[in-house]
Amino acid sequence: MAQQGMISPFEPSLICKVRKDASLEVQPVISYGVSSYGYDLRLSSAEFRIFRHLPGTIVDPKNFNPCNLEPIQLHTDPNGSYFILPAHSYGLGVALEKIEVPGNITVICIGKSTYARCGIIANITPAEATWRGHLTLEFSNSSSTDCRIYANDGVVKLLFLEGEPCAISYDTRQGKYQDQAEIVTLAKVC
């Protein structure tokens, strides 16, 4: 299903090293692509935002104020491109890959152990049957130090659950997060 458009761009193997440039030098990456029972998505370099404290404001999912989120800079060094998630903070990124979930599949997005061992917790996110778009990914840094989150490297794992097609799919009920672009999508209320 992934090769037929469920995941785009699709990597049919688990990638752990990539060619750095036109030279023959290879660079290790945090793995992405097909895994045992899932797929490791990459973080897009398009955008990453962190919550910042604005005195007198409250984050309200029913009346979300985009001013509570601050875009952060993409950095690059010999190890790759990355965003810095400050200690004890929360950030939003977006998946590089676009997914189109078939009607008989539900996807659960969970964190990768490489980041968990650094104190980065990826929020568990579902992608329901017939959902499509670029997932907005949520991360909390539970450590007492700033942490890099690498763009274009694996950042979360998708696990696929197959069943009978559901009676009312995400597309049928016109879910509010359908067709997300490769940008951070803010909280919405129907």
Residues with a catalytic annotation lie at: 138
3-class secondary structure, 121 = strand
Q: Which helix (H) or strand (E) holds 113?
A: helix 113-116
3-class secondary structure, 115 = helix
Cα(5)–Cα(10) distance, integer angstroms: 8
Residue count of the chain: 190
Within a 10 A sphere around the Cβ of 68, how many other Cβ atoms? 17
Sign (positive or negative) of CA dihedral 15, 21, 24, 26: negative
Cα(137)–Cα(91) distance, integer angstroms: 8
Phi, psi angle pair for 125, to nearest 5°: -125, 130
